Each structure stands twice: as structure tokens, then as C-alpha cells.
Homo-oligomer: A and B are copies of this chain.
Amino acid sequence: MTIIRQFQPDDWAQVWPMLQATFATGDTYAFAPDSSESDIYRAWIELPQATYVAAAGDGAILGTYYLKPNQVGLGNHVCNCGYVVAAAAQGQGIARAMCEHSQTEAIAQGFRAMQFNLVVSTNERAVRLWQGLGFQIVGMLPGAFRHVRLGYVDAFVMFKQLVD
């Protein structure tokens, strides 16, 4: 059985290769395909308010996500998350489970809404998944993502109110 729990330092040995492989594709995340391990450690572990992993019963890490305020100060009631699933664990509902977990965590930590700032428009599976989980496309950024194969493609801003 898979559980979602807080990231622990020992997890990095599994989390980094998963993040590296994901960002290397250059089709879903802004992080440069050749991002260094230290840059990603800072972005995924140090800067966010919290980081989580989805762990299988045997200890294998299947996915990870971070949670942080999307803005400082007077915008810090809206959070932002990023989710990555291991290639070998695609199609098992891990992203959905992490997103649902993150919404519960966000509310518990006092956030009122969640925002994704750069959802690549060609990543249709992700767009549909977030829509199915109640996120709306509230903005369209023309050519804002430099897709490694497709060139400049549009990106969406997606948003979900978590509390009334």
C-alpha cells in the first residue's frame, strides 16, 4: 500500500533521479533539463514550506510534491504545489492522490486557495487531471513555455478555491 508522508532526508537518493528524469524531458516543468542537483534540492526541498513523498510498502518512492505560498505577504493565503511521479509509477493515480493530499495539507496549514502558475498547454493529461480535481483555467500565457520539442507553447494558470 502506498502512503503519502513528509519528505525525509534519506528520501533524496530516490527523489533526485525522479526529478532529474522528469525535468530532463523539457515538456512539463520550467526547470531547465540540465538543472543541477543542488539547484533542484533548493527548489524542491529547501525553499518550499513542505515537501512530501508517495512511498510504496517496500519503501520505493513513487512520487513527490512540494507545497509553498505562491506569493509573499498579502498573497500568501494562496499556495502553489508541484507534483512529480516516477516514470515506472505512471497511471496508478499517484498524481491524483498527491494532489488530493496537498489540498488537505494546504487547508490544514491555513491556505485558502491553490494556484498553478505554468501548466504547459500541451501537457493535456495534466490539464485534464487538474480540471477533474476542481481546478479552473483562469489565465493563458501566450508562448510562455519553451518546449524542447515543440518550441514556444502556451501555458495556463490554474486555480482552485479551497475554502469559502
Query: Using a CB–CB distance below 8 Å, which chain A residues touch chain B?
Result: 23, 26, 29-33, 35, 43, 71-78, 112-113, 115, 117-118, 138-148, 152, 155, 157, 159, 161
Do the beta carbons of A141 and B30 come within 8 Å of each other? no
Which residue of A30, A118, A143, A145 has the most chain B CB atoms within 10 A of its CB atom? A30
Min CB gap A70→B, angstroms: 8
Give the distance in Å from the alpha carbon of A32 to the alpha carbon of B159 in the complex.
22
Report copies per complex: 2
Do the beta carbons of A71 and B115 come within 8 Å of each other? no
Extra 17 A-B pairs, beta carbons < 8 Å, given A30-B72, A30-B73, A74-B145: A29-B73, A30-B74, A31-B72, A31-B73, A32-B72, A35-B72, A74-B147, A75-B118, A78-B144, A113-B144, A115-B141, A117-B117, A139-B140, A139-B141, A141-B159, A144-B159, A157-B157
Do the beta carbons of B72 and A141 come within 8 Å of each other? no
Do the beta carbons of A142 and B157 come within 8 Å of each other? no
Given A73-B35, A139-B138, A144:B115 Cβ within 8 A: yes
Which residue of A74, A75, A78, A152 has the most chain B CB atoms within 10 A of its CB atom? A74
Contacts of A140 in B (CB 8 A): 138-139
Given A113-B144, A117-B117, A144-B113, A32:B73 Cβ within 8 A: yes
Given A30-B71, A71-B118, A78:B112 Cβ within 8 A: no
Kindly list the 10 A-B residue pairs having the minimum CB-CB distance in the complex, ordered from nearest.
A139-B139, A32-B73, A30-B75, A74-B146, A30-B71, A139-B157, A30-B73, A30-B74, A31-B73, A78-B144
